Amino acid sequence: MTDRFAGLDEGTLRRLRSAPHPEWVAPMLATLTDRRFSDASWLFERKLDGQRCLAFRHGAEVRLLSRNRRSLSATYPEVRDALGAQDVDDVVVDGEVVAFDAGRTTFSLLQQRMGISDEDRARRSPVAVAYYVFDLLHLDGQDTTGVGVRDRKALLRRTLHWADPLRFSSHRNGSGEAYFEEACARGWEGLIAKRADSPYVSRRGDAWLKLKCAAGQEVVIGGFTEPQGSRHGFGALLVGYYDGPDLVYAGKVGTGYSTAVLRDLHRRLVELEAPSSPFTRGQVGERRPHWVRPELVAQVAFAEWTTDGKLRQPRFEGLRDDKAPAEVRRERPS
């Protein structure tokens, strides 16, 4: 075992497990909660509005993969290069790629990079990105997922050299309520609360919790309406979420689009047009809607859910290509 593990106590060392470099580790996911709490046995991180990215360095090879295992190496070559320059050649980390606008992470700006799969074009993009790394899953022949998250982060901090675009995702211990108020006042998306002794498990659970300042939700696009007046492309998206096998209608999203987005998204929607509604629950009250195959996932911000299960004041933020439509569920606080 290398000196990177020096300083860990015997109990933590026993939670390490010898393992070959993994080809893939499914990400751990957080559960939405409306709890606001402080607890010394929990740590609290900033919730970032970006794209989940797992990075695998094995020898000279660096692979960047999305949460649905799609390669991101050509999309974020500066991140790949930075990890390739590290003095560790057997490591797996988890984090979020983000773009900033006026000091805030913005998913809509990151969209301009997410759609790029040509490395040269990505390097020419004016949209700069940062990779906030918040977890360590494998290091020097050791599976670290059984170690508690606080110890994993301590090990992570001293494993990598932190210079842009690599950034360590800092946290606060215990003081969740004050940090949440600060996060919302600064215009952040919210916080992620993590039980400090929790292992990394490849599923959603209650050891990681999402505390959101404003409501947000992934939705499946099932149709669109005609534009009115001088508007181009389409009027509104008709969206929903899955509940078991049913695609449940959740309302229409008519704001948040630039003219360029309206035109580009309309082109994609036309290619997916279908003869009948994909929604199997919920009444769509629009006249002469256009139906599409439910293959696109959008990120929306909204005020709240109405009593009849619709999104109130939804605003389009961008398309997501890192989540399958069948995985989109209505998020409910625990």
Report the catalytic residues: 47
Q: Helix, strand or coil for residue 242?
A: strand
- Determine contact, residues 137/93, Cβ cutoff 8 Å: yes
Count of Cβ atoms closer than 10 Å to residue 295 Cβ: 14
Cα separation, 258 vs 207, whole angstroms: 38
Nearest to 76, CA basis, from 105, 29, 112: 112
- Determine contact, residues 17/143, Cβ cutoff 8 Å: yes
Cα separation, 203 vs 111, whole angstroms: 26
Cα separation, 43 vs 36, whole angstroms: 13
Nearest to 44, CA basis, from 257, 246, 188: 188
174: left (phi over 0), alpha (psi -120 to 50) or beta: left
